[in-house]
Amino acid sequence: MLFIPAIDLIDGRCVRLLQGDYAKKTEYSHDPVGVAKSFEDQGTKYLHIVDLDAAKGGDRNNRSVIQKVVSALKIPVQVGGGVRDRKKIVSLLDIGVERVILGTIIVRAEALARELVAEFKGKIVAGIDAQNGIVRISGWTEGTGLKAMTLGKQVRDMGFSLIIYTDIMRDGMMEGPNLQEVKRMSVETGIPLIASGGISSLDDLKKLKPLEAYGIQGVIAGKAIYEKNLSVREAVRVLEEEC
């Protein structure tokens, strides 16, 4: 199971939001490249980046910063936030991003999402972000009324081969992951899954580790790292080396 550190970007800086609330922002670093390099130096094999400016819509984005991060690393990088058309996917892949996460477009433009899956195959991933089991989109600022499990089955039928599932209520709270829902999403969709939201300690990772047998391929963590509750090096060891 992969341990995947997260870098969330606003105005080119590393931040964390509490439950996706842009008004509850904590800034951690002005040097995303340095942060990313430190994660790589500690042994992580993948990096997760979210462009929170792009996620809200409009013209603002952190593409130039993302390009610098990707260029500085040897490990692959996945990026999400505001990817709502083919042009944005291509622009990210062109700067070396390994895979691109789609979220809003899956809900709003299913036909287009199907076309993109067929074209880009394993280079795009389905991002499902849910609050109390209901999907939210547009940087978590809009509700949909759509059940996360329903969308999970839909993305399976669209042809996606990987889901990144975020429990918004756990995100940034460091209260532990929603083990039951993570397992259920993977089992009921039959698609490999990366879990996100709530990681606070090595104990949380040890609880997630057995779910590898049910298709959980990785875990994303952010705030616990920045608050120094969790060492990247130790997290990698627990998930990738322990039986």
* Domain CATH number, residue 53: 3.20.20.70
Active site residue 203: no
Q: What is the pLDDT of residue 59?
A: 83
Q: What is the pLDDT of residue 72?
A: 98
Residue 33's contacts (CB-CB under 8 Å, 6 or more residues apart) are 65, 68, 69, 72
Range of the domain at 121: 2-240
Q: What is the pLDDT of residue 217?
A: 96
Using CA atoms, how far residue 38 sits from 84, 161, 163, in Å, is 31, 30, 26
| Sheet strands (E) in 140-206 | 142-147, 163-167, 193-196
The token pair at 182 is 């993570």
Q: What is the pLDDT of residue 173?
A: 62
129, 167, 171, 204: the active-site residue: 129
Q: What is the pLDDT of residue 21?
A: 80
Rounded CA-CA distance 190/158 in Å is 13
Residue ranges of the chain with pLDDT lower than 70? Answer: 172-174, 242-243
pLDDT digit string, tens, across residues 172-205: 666 788 899 999 999 999 999 999 988 999 999 9
Q: Give pTM, 2 decimals.
A: 0.93
Q: What is the pLDDT of residue 170?
A: 76
Active site residue 8: yes
Residue (of 44, 116, 53) closest to 78 by Cα position: 44
Instruction: Tally the domains of the chain.
Output: 1
Rounded CA-CA distance 90/79 in Å is 12
Rounded CA-CA distance 73/53 in Å is 23
Beta strands 163-167 and 142-147, pairing class: unpaired
Residue (of 54, 119, 107, 113) closest to 80 by Cα position: 54
Q: What is the pLDDT of residue 172?
A: 64
